[in-house]
Amino acid sequence: MRRANFLLGLTALIAAPNLWGQTAVDVKRPEERAREHKIEEREEKKKAKSTDLEIRGAAAFKEDELRTVLKEQIATIHDFGLTAARADDAAFFLQLFYRKHGYARVDVHYRIEGGSRLVLEITEGPQVILSAINFSGNNHVPAKTLFEYAVGPTRERYSRLQKELPFVATDVQEGADLVHRYYVSEGYLDAVVDPPQYDFSADGKRGEVIIPVHEGRQYFFGDLVFHGHTIYDPATLRGQMIDLLSQPYTDRRVDDISRRLQAYYKARGYYAVKVEAAGEPERAAAGHVPVIVTLSPGPVYKFDGVNITGLRRLRPSYVRNRFASLEGKNYSPDVLDEKFRELMRTGLFNVLQINPQPVGDDYLRLDVSAEEAKAKEFGFSIGYGTYTGAIFGVSFADRDLFGYGRPLFTSIEISERGYKGEILWDDPHFLESDVELKVRLSAFTFDFDGYSKFEIGNRTEFSYSLTKKYKVGVFGSERRVEIVSSDIKDKFIGDPKYFVSSIGLFHTLDLRDSPVVPSRGFVFDQTFELANNAIGSEIEFFRTTARASYFISFGKTLLELGARAGLIRPLTESTSDINAIPIDERFFNGGSTTVRSFAERDLGPHDHRRHPLGGEFYTVFNVEYTFPLYGELQGAVFFDAGNLLPDADNPGFDDMRYGIGVGLRYKLPIGPIRLDYGVNPDRREHEDFGAFHFSFGFAF
């Protein structure tokens, strides 16, 4: 069973040059810059309080708030002395602050007393509320659409829930400019928006705005005429821009024609292609503007060698081998982009630049400039899980072992139920191919409800991505398992000490937008495993598992659907004998990632002491809907269903159990922290009403 626990990871990157072979670069982290900025703000506020400044006539705002507004000007006066020019700057910025809050008639005067005391005298006047914005001459565009642009500069500073906004003349003028830009973006090339006109109420507290508009004609794209050696027929080239040409004519969309055609040619190897598109509005007929496109494709370029600079530890052959498959093939920016992403995903680089450089005979050399990331990483983690209790872990990773770009991960985890040590070697390019090799060595103990076990073993896995979304693989596994103590009768435990050797295959179709924090998409994976005496196993069985999950987003909410199933069958003994499969090889159900109305592993057959016994067949079905509450905090409602059958003679949906519940989620970049409570709607004798689960990551 998969365990899900909340882990808080604290990672320390150690980069001593004599230990790791890397020179430290003194680059300020974002948090350091933010800390320095806060220190500067505190110093400015101190200066604002200590400077001899008096503000008179302020009623709408507190003096501390006004001093904060002027903190930069006050800091300058504090550091360099009070002058008439600096006093005038303070008065100007204070007046500007008032005007941005609707005090259109505010007046601020300064006076210098005794040579070092600054007095700012404010005549606030009434706050003017923007009562309405009206438009004239807008025959084709609704006033409601134009209003959003006109009021936009003011709205940015206030909540959309605030109905009445202050009148700010500079904002209204900026809004009128945005209205004009909108018209141009919709093809009204001759549109004119006159300066806003203002009308104030008798008491000066409300202001109405009128914005005159002269729309003119709306223009669209006309004929697209190609000049030069096009290579491809005009219909094919126009086909790359069908959606663009159906929109109103604008200069920006004319530039898009050049960019799209350039991308089309470059994707086919024409690295040096030149495309110029020019509209001719003066030759427009019935509002349709012809566009002249001049093409110079040049020759088809092919990839040549790679030149690498900037590497210190990583061997150049690692980077060179990543591009070896491109040599002699036609240039493609999409292929280069994929290679770039592949290299950045390794974590070996902070900065990576790939610049194609033309060389003789229409070839491109790839100049690769790299800045390596810190390869060695030491970290520790602390956390808590409802089932495992407190957790503490330490880890060490070297992403560039011996300079070959192959990572090695080691970790030790200690919880209230046991400990685990693991070493993982990952070779994403086994023998410089596209096959990935993973070798995992592990040893651990764990105290389950009813028995404790010790296990040591290894797993070797080869995988290959047939497409970007579909992966297949094979694996071999060897494990020595011993039940070191048990409160369960021997007849339910099965073999307490055994060696299992198995081989298997798996495949995964992953169409999610993110494997860590998906917001949409589908994932399906399946495994098949065979343990047999012919490969040295002391027990024989066939096991298969399958999982499917679907994620659908509705705005800021997410609907998650999941289904899982598993079956294990002994190959030698009678399937009616529960001892045929040792207890630690069986399936269990219930818990934070399955049916959440049950405690961990608590759904299914039990002995007379209520210890879970496991089973040979299980199903799990989950439906969960999450929605935002506040900031990164989310709420969730869910429905779970599943079963666990003691033998696999008649797999199906007998004895289904259910769970309904609510939960809280706190979003993190690596997945959510989850707190769930599931209610058991068909509770039986000796079963709890429900169960709490505190864990980390997605439930399924």
Strands 470-486 and 497-510, bridge-based pairing: antiparallel
Q: Is the CB of residue 455 less than 8 Å from the CB of residue 477?
A: no
- 596 and 526 both lie in a single domain: yes
More confident residue, 246 or 45: 246
Q: Is residue 3 part of a domain?
A: no
Instruction: Give pLDDT tens digits for 553-581.
Output: 999 999 999 999 999 999 975 544 667 89
Strands 376-385 and 349-359, bridge-based pairing: unpaired
- 615 and 684 both lie in a single domain: yes
Q: Is residue 19 part of a domain?
A: no
| Count of the separate structural domains present in the chain | 5
pLDDT at residue 378 is higher than 80:
yes
- 394 and 420 both lie in a single domain: yes
Residue 50's pLDDT is 55
Residue 115's pLDDT is 82
Consecutive H or E run containing 317: helix 316-322
Instruction: Give pLDDT tens digits for 31-41.
Output: 555 565 566 56
Q: What is the CATH number of the domain that holds 680?
A: 2.40.160.50
Write the DSSP assignment of 245-305 as a string of letters: HTSBP-HHHHHHHHHHHHHHHHTTT-TT-EEEEEE-GGG-BTTEEEEEEEEE--PPPEEEE
Instruction: Enumerate the β-bridge partners of residue 397.
Output: 377, 409
Distance CA 396, CA 14 (A): 11
Q: Is residue 175 part of a domain?
A: yes
Q: Is residue 1 part of a domain?
A: no
pLDDT at residue 20 is higher than 50:
no
Poorest-pLDDT segment among 26-35, 331-340, 598-607: 26-35
Q: Is the CB of residue 542 less than 8 Å from the CB of residue 569?
A: yes
- 599 and 674 both lie in a single domain: yes
- 687 and 611 both lie in a single domain: yes
Residue 488's pLDDT is 95
Residue 650's pLDDT is 85
Mean pLDDT of 299-314: 95
Instruction: Give pLDDT tens digits for 326-342.
Output: 999 999 999 999 999 99
Tokens of 219: 């223009």
pLDDT at residue 552 is higher than 80:
yes
Which of 22-31, 59-68, 454-463, 641-650 ranks highest by mean pLDDT? Answer: 454-463
Last residue of a domain, one of 266, 296, 326: 296
Distance CA 276, CA 262 (A): 9
Instruction: Give pLDDT tens digits for 132-183.
Output: 999 999 999 999 999 999 999 998 888 777 788 999 999 999 999 999 999 9
Poorest-pLDDT segment among 307-321, 490-504, 574-588, 616-630: 574-588
More confident residue, 516 or 496: 496
Residue 574's pLDDT is 53
Poorest-pLDDT segment among 49-58, 73-82, 479-488, 493-502: 49-58
Q: What 3-state class would DSSP assign to 413?
A: strand
Residue 540's pLDDT is 96
**Length of the chain measured in residues:** 700
Distance CA 259, CA 268 (A): 15
- 108 and 245 both lie in a single domain: no
Q: Which residues contact 265 (CB under 8 A, 6 or more apart)?
A: 231, 273, 275, 295, 297
pLDDT at residue 15 is higher than 70:
no
- 671 and 525 both lie in a single domain: yes
- 259 and 407 both lie in a single domain: no
Q: Is residue 11 part of a domain?
A: no
Mean pLDDT of 68-93: 91
Q: Is residue 9 part of a domain?
A: no
Instruction: Give pLDDT tens digits for 639-651.
Output: 999 999 998 888 9
Q: Is residue 13 part of a domain?
A: no
- 392 and 441 both lie in a single domain: yes
Residue 347's pLDDT is 93
Q: Is the CB of residue 375 less than 8 Å from the CB of residue 347?
A: no
Judged on CB neighbours under 10 Å (0-12, 13-18, 19+), 184 is middle
Instruction: Residue 193: give the domain boundaries.
Output: 129-214
Q: What is the CATH number of the domain that holds 82?
A: 3.10.20
Residue 5's pLDDT is 45
Last residue of a domain, one of 71, 98, 123: 123
Residue 34's pLDDT is 58
298: left (phi > 0), else alpha (psi -120 to 50), else beta?
left
More confident residue, 88 or 34: 88
Q: Is residue 23 part of a domain?
A: no
Going by pLDDT thresholds of 50, 70 and 90, the confidence category of residue 671 is confident
Residue 33's pLDDT is 59
- 546 and 667 both lie in a single domain: yes
Q: What is the CATH number of the domain that holds 261?
A: 3.10.20.310
- 50 and 145 both lie in a single domain: no
pLDDT at residue 8 is higher than 80:
no
- 383 and 358 both lie in a single domain: no
- pLDDT mean across residues, the chain: 90
Instruction: Give pLDDT tens digits for 521-533.
Output: 999 999 999 999 9
Mean pLDDT of 441-450: 97
Residue 22's pLDDT is 34
Last residue of a domain, one of 243, 269, 296: 296
